[in-house]
């Protein structure tokens, strides 16, 4: 009987003395989906300017405060993907389409609070402008991808 109580005491001590030294608590079990935007460039006739090679995905970069945000384009993609990065309020993104053409996207963001802060931050877009023109943002098929269609003259 004495042995059982000593084993039980050791197990209790081990259980309560363990701590999450590596930060692997609840967040380690969660796969996060980054909030993503897709920029689609079309001409006035509705032709996709990436699909018809007017713009090349390899040459397009999106930056905010000097940090590149677009990522892993696949052959055949007809939109430019980038992760949302920013803070509450106005956030300016520079979109270099080629060596001579750089556009400006401004998003007014509000951070969404969540119960578990493992992922994110995630934002609500209050307003958006592209080259000083107000634009609409459509939610894509995936709730973490929002699509902006830009009509170029």
Worst-scoring range by mean pLDDT, 36-50, 70-84, 86-100?
Answer: 70-84
Rounded distance between C-alpha atoms, residue 109 and residue 121, angstroms: 11
Q: What is the mean pLDDT of residues 63-83?
A: 83
Q: What is residue 20's predicted lDDT score, i.e. its pLDDT?
A: 47
Residue 150 has pLDDT above 90, yes or no: yes
Rounded distance between C-alpha atoms, residue 22 and residue 112, angstroms: 27
List strand residue ranges (DSSP E) for the chain, in order: 36-43, 61-64, 67-68, 80-83, 89-98, 101-112, 122-130, 133-134, 138-139, 145-152
17: which 2 tokens?
A: 């003395």
CA 53 from centre of chain? 26
Per-residue pLDDT reduced to its tens digit, 102-148: 999 999 999 887 766 677 778 888 999 999 999 988 876 556 688 89
Rounded distance between C-alpha atoms, residue 147 and residue 80, angstroms: 10
Which of 130, 148, 134 minimizes the C-alpha distance to 37?
A: 148
Which of 139, 41, 44 minimizes the C-alpha distance to 96?
A: 41
Q: Are 26 and 136 in contact (CB under 8 A)?
A: no
57: which 2 tokens?
A: 């995905």
């Amino acid at each position: 009987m004495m042995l059982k109580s000593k084993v039980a005491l050791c197990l209790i001590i081990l259980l309560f003395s363990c701590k999450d030294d590596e930060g692997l608590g609840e967040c380690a079990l969660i796969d996060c989906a980054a909030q993503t935007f897709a920029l689609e460039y079309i001409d006035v006739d509705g032709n996709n300017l990436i699909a018809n090679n007017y713009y090349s995905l390899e040459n397009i970069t999106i930056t905010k405060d000097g940090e590149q945000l677009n990522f892993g384009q696949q052959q055949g993609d007809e939109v430019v993907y980038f992760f949302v990065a920013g803070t509450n309020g106005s956030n300016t993104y520079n979109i270099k389409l080629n060596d001579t053409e750089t556009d400006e996207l401004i998003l007014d963001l509000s951070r969404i609070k969540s119960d578990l802060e493992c992922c994110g931050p995630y934002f609500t877009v209050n307003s958006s402008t592209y080259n000083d023109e107000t634009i609409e943002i459509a939610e894509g098929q995936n709730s973490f991808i929002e699509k902006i269609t830009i009509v170029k003259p």
